[in-house]
Amino acid sequence: MIKINLLPQLRAKKVRKQIEIQYQLWFFSTLLVVLILVLGYFWFYLNDRIQNLQNERTAMTQSLGALKEKVKEVEGFEKDKKIFEEKIKIIQQLKLNQSGPVHLLDQVSLNLPARVWLIGLAQQGNGVTIEGRAITNSELVDFIDNLKRSKYFSEIQILESRQGVEGNVPIYNFKLSCTLAI
């Protein structure tokens, strides 16, 4: 059988090319629509992610501000605590110092013989200087012996002892130094 092509050959090629072009246009337009949809999805996803990160940053900034305030508050409490501790130490030291001179005077008066009297008593740290007068030298020696027997005093030394006259009465002026043992 013989085939006869009634269409001109040029027209068949044109039609085929048109169909091919339509098919390519349809493919590319579909591809473009899919690409636009995918890019739109990513744009919305990234926009949402940016918004979430900005919200998170804002929340973190607010919590950081609150934490900074709490740190300042804690530092203030620590400063107050140091001040109170220093005040407590001072009060305790004053209490110790308050009982110290009373105990010192009590011990000196307990060891003081009848005819010996004091004209000066000075304390610097653990060192004590005692100035006084005695009617006789033996009473001065008794006073020193009494101090040596006391647990409260140690390292007793006579710094000065002179005989003098006061109101036609012979007396001994003395100056002692000692260390508080307790």
Instruction: Enumerate the domain spans of the chain.
Output: 111-180
Half-sphere exposure of 150 (CA within 13 A, CB side): 25
Residue 163 has pLDDT above 80, yes or no: yes
Average pLDDT score, the chain: 87
Residue 76 has pLDDT above 90, yes or no: yes
The string of pLDDT tens digits covering residues 80-95 is: 999 999 999 998 888 7
86 close to 115: Cβ distance less than 8 angstroms:
no
pLDDT at 50: 95
Q: Does domain 111-180 have CATH number 3.30.1360?
A: yes
Mean pLDDT on 101-109: 79
Residue with tokens 């899919």: 34
Residue with tokens 């390519």: 24
The string of pLDDT tens digits covering residues 59-75 is: 999 999 999 999 999 99
